[in-house]
Amino acid sequence: MKLFEIVETVIDPEPYRKAVLHASAGAVTVFTGHVREWTKGIRTIYLAYEAYIPMAEKKLAQIGKEIEEQWPNTKVAIAHRIGKLEISDIAVVIAVSSPHRKVAYEANEYAIERIKEIVPIWKKEIWENGQEWIGEQKQKPIVEGELK
C-alpha cells in the first residue's frame, strides 16, 4: 500500500492507522466517509466514483505535506476508492497521527475539506429514478501555491 492512493477495491482502515503510528504519536484519528442511503430525502442506490488517478494521488500527497508542515510531528495517510460503491461502503479513509489529540482532529478535518476542494475525483449518484454527477461547488479560484 501507498500512503496516498486511489484504490479500486474495499478499503480496510487499519493499515492506514498503523502506517501513521510512531513512538511519539499519542493520538490517531481515522475518518471514514461512507455511502449514505438517504441524502436530502433522495434514496441512493449506489455511487460511482471516477478519478484522474495520477493527479489525484499527487494531490492527496500534497494535502499530507500541507498538514505535516502546518502541524509539527503529524503523519498522514489517505486512500480514496473509485468504481461502484454500495450503501455503507467506505469511499475515503484519512488517518492522522499527532503527539496530542486536538491536532489529530483538526488536521484530519482539514484533510477532508481539502479533498473536496482540490483532488480530481468525481461522484455520480445513482437514484431510483435518475443519476447525476455531483459538483459540490467548493472549488475556489486557483491560487499561486497550487500551481506547478
Residue span 61-100 as binding mask against a copy of itself, x where in contact by CB under 8 A, dash where not? --------------------------xx----------x-
Long-range contacts of 83-86 (CB under 8 A, 24+ apart): 83/8, 83/48, 83/49, 84/46, 84/47, 84/48, 85/35, 85/46, 85/47, 85/48, 85/49, 86/35, 86/46
Cell of 94: 484519512
Q: Decide if 4 contacts 56 (C-beta within 8 A).
A: no
65 binds another protein (CB under 8 A): no
- For a copy of itself, the binding residue among 3, 7, 19, 31 (CB under 8 A) is 31
- For a copy of itself, the binding residue among 26, 70, 83, 138 (CB under 8 A) is 26
| Binding partner at 89 among another protein, a copy of itself, none, C-beta below 5 to 8 Å by kind | none
The CB-of-142 to a copy of itself minimum distance in angstroms stands at 25
The CB-of-29 to a copy of itself minimum distance in angstroms stands at 5
